[in-house]
C-alpha cells in the first residue's frame, strides 16, 4: 500500500454481484466513478467455507430465503475464478485497484497468482490460525479486520502473523506462537506490514454498537495504523472515523439496495458512496498537519483584526506613556496590543495625534 492517499477508501462490492458477471463489472465501474481507491470482492469455495449444518446469522435470515441454508446461500454468491483476472484488468483500466478477500487457503493460493498489492483478512478469520498464518506468510501487507473480537483475540492474531513473518514453517503449537511473540523483534516485524480495522460485524450496525473509541484502543495498544470497516447505514460514521484518525475506510456498496442478498440492505448506493468519498477527502484535507500556526489566508485577516497600541489623546515627544494617553485599537500597523504594559512609563519618541498608531 505504498503511495496511498491519507485515507485509503475500499469500496466493498463483496458478494453484491449476486452471481451476475455483468453486475460485477458494473460494480467496478461504480467504485471507480465515485473516486474510491479500490474495489473489493470475496473469493471462496462455498463447500470449503461452510458445513452442511452451518446456520445463517440473524441478519442473513432476514435478508435471504428463510429455508435456504448458509451453504446454499454462499453457493449462489461465489465469484467464479475465471472472472477474477478480467475484473482486475477492467479495474486497472478504470484507474482503481482490484482486491478480493480469501476465505480458505486454496482461494488465497489462487489470489496469489493475481499479484494483489495487499490482503484484507476478514473478521471471521482472525481466529482461524492456519489461514491467518498463510495470509501473513505471503509476505504481502495485511489489513486485518477485528469484528466480534476481544482485545486478547486481536493480540493472538497478531502473534500468529508475527510468527509467519519470521518463520518458514507453521508453528508446531500455539505455545510456539507465544514464544515468538515475546521477542520484541517479532512484534517489530508488524510495523509497515499490518493495519487493523475496527469493525462491528452486524448488518446494519446500530449506532449504539459502533463503539468508535475502540479504534483508538487498537491504535494505543498495538501502535499500528488503524481504520474502520463500516456496516452502519449512511455515511456519518466512516467520516467520523476519519476525523478520529482512521487511515483506511471500508464500506459495502451496491447498485441497488432493493436487490435480494445478505449485504444489500447495509450497503450504500453509488450516489451515497460518492458523497462519502468526497466527505472523506474533504475531512482528510481539513485535518492538516497538526501544527498550530497562522494559515496562508489568515495573514491579511491577522493584520486587519488584531489591535495595536494607539494614542488615546495628543502625546508630545518626550511625554511619558500612561493609561490615560495610551489605548488599543485596530490600526493595521505599529506595536501590538500585547506590548501595552512594557510601553507604560516610556517616553514618546515623537508627537502623536489621537488614534495614531504608536
pLDDT at 10 over 50: yes
- Cβ atoms of residues 64 and 260 within 8 Å: yes
Helix, strand, coil percent content, the chain, rounded in steps of 5: 40, 15, 40
Q: How far apart are CA 96 and CA 54, in angstroms?
A: 35
pLDDT at position 324: 97
Contact 37, 98 (CB under 8 A): no
Instruction: Give the three-state DSSP class for 168.
Output: coil
Q: Residue 321 and residue 60: Cα distance in Å, rounded?
A: 80
- Does residue 5 register a pLDDT over 80? no
Q: State yes or no: pLDDT of 310 exceeds 90.
A: yes
The mean pLDDT of 339-356, rounded to a whole number, is 97
Q: What is the pLDDT of residues 151-196, one digit of tens each?
A: 999 999 999 999 999 999 999 999 999 999 999 999 999 999 999 9
Confidence of residue 63 (pLDDT cuts 50, 70, 90): confident
Report the predicted TM-score, pTM, of the whole model to 2 decimal places. 0.88
Task: Give the architecture-level CATH label for domain 8-287.
Answer: Alpha-Beta Barrel (3.20)
Report how far residue 355's alpha carbon sits from residue 358's, in angstroms, rounded to the nearest whole number: 9
In the chain, where does the domain assigned CATH 3.20.20.70 lie? 8-287
Secondary structure element (H or E) that encloses residue 125, with its range: none
Per-residue pLDDT tens for 199-252?
999 989 999 999 999 999 999 999 999 999 999 999 999 999 999 999 999 999
Per residue in 14-52, pLDDT (tens digit) is 999 999 999 999 999 999 999 999 999 999 988 888 887
- CA–CA separation, 328 vs 311, rounded Å? 8
Please tell me the distance from the alpha carbon of residue 22 to that of residue 14, in angstroms, as a whole number: 15
- Percent of the chain whose pLDDT exceeds 70: 98
22 C-beta neighbours (distance < 10 Å), count: 8
pLDDT at 1 over 70: no
Residue 4 banded pLDDT, cuts 50, 70, 90 = low
pLDDT above 70 (res 3): no
The pLDDT value given to residue 2: 46
Say if residue 66's pLDDT is above 90.
no
Q: Is residue 55 classed exposed, middle or buried when 0-12, 13-18 and 19+ CB atoms within 10 A define those classes?
A: exposed
Amino acid at each position: 500500500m505504498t503511495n496511498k492517499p491519507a485515507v485509503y477508501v475500499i469500496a466493498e462490492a463483496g458478494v453484491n454481484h449476486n452471481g451476475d458477471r455483468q453486475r460485477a463489472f458494473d460494480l467496478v465501474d461504480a467504485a471507480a466513478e465515485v473516486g474510491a481507491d479500490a474495489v473489493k470482492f470475496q473469493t471462496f469455495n462455498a463447500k470449503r467455507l461452510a458445513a452442511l449444518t452451518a446456520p445463517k446469522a440473524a441478519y442473513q435470515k432476514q435478508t435471504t430465503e428463510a429455508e435456504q441454508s448458509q451453504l446454499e446461500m454462499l453457493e449462489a454468491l461465489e465469484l467464479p475464478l475465471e472472472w477474477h483476472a478480467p475484473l482486475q484488468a477492467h479495474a486497472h483500466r478504470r484507474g482503481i485497484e482490484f482486491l478480493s478477500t480469501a476465505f480458505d487457503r486454496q482461494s488465497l493460493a489462487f489470489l496469489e497468482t493475481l499479484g494483489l498489492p495487499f490482503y484484507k483478512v476478514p473478521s471471521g478469520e482472525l481466529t482461524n490460525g492456519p489461514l491467518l498464518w498463510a495470509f501473513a506468510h505471503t509476505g504481502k501487507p495485511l489489513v486485518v479486520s477485528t469484528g466480534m473480537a476481544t482485545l486478547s483475540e486481536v493480540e493472538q492474531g497478531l502473534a500468529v502473523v508475527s510468527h509467519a513473518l519470521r518463520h518458514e514453517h507453521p508453528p508446531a503449537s500455539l505455545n510456539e506462537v507465544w514464544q515468538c511473540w515475546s521477542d520484541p523483534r517479532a512484534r517489530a516485524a508488524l510495523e509497515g506490514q499490518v493495519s487493523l480495522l475496527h469493525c462491528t460485524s452486524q448488518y446494519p450496525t446500530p449506532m449504539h454498537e459502533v463503539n468508535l473509541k475502540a479504534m483508538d484502543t487498537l491504535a494505543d495498544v498495538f501502535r499500528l495504523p488503524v481504520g474502520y470497516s463500516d456496516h452502519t447505514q449512511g455515511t456519518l460514521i466512516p467520516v467520523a472515523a476519519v476525523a478520529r484518525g482512521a487511515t483506511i475506510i471500508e464500506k459495502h456498496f451496491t447498485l441497488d439496495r432493493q436487490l435480494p442478498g445478505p449485504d444489500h440492505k447495509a450497503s450504500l448506493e453509488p450516489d451515497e458512496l460518492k458523497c462519502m468519498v468526497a466527505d472523506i477527502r474533504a475531512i482528510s484535507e481539513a485535518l492538516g498537519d497538526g501544527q498550530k500556526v497562522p494559515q496562508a489566508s489568515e495573514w491579511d485577516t491577522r493584520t486587519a483584526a488584531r489591535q495595536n497600541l494607539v494614542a488615546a489623546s495628543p502625546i508630545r515627544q518626550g511625554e511619558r506613556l500612561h493609561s490615560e494617553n495610551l489605548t488599543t485599537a485596530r490600526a493595521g500597523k505599529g506595536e501590538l496590543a500585547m506590548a501595552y504594559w512594557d510601553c507604560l512609563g516610556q517616553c514618546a519618541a515623537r508627537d502623536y495625534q489621537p488614534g495614531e498608531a504608536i
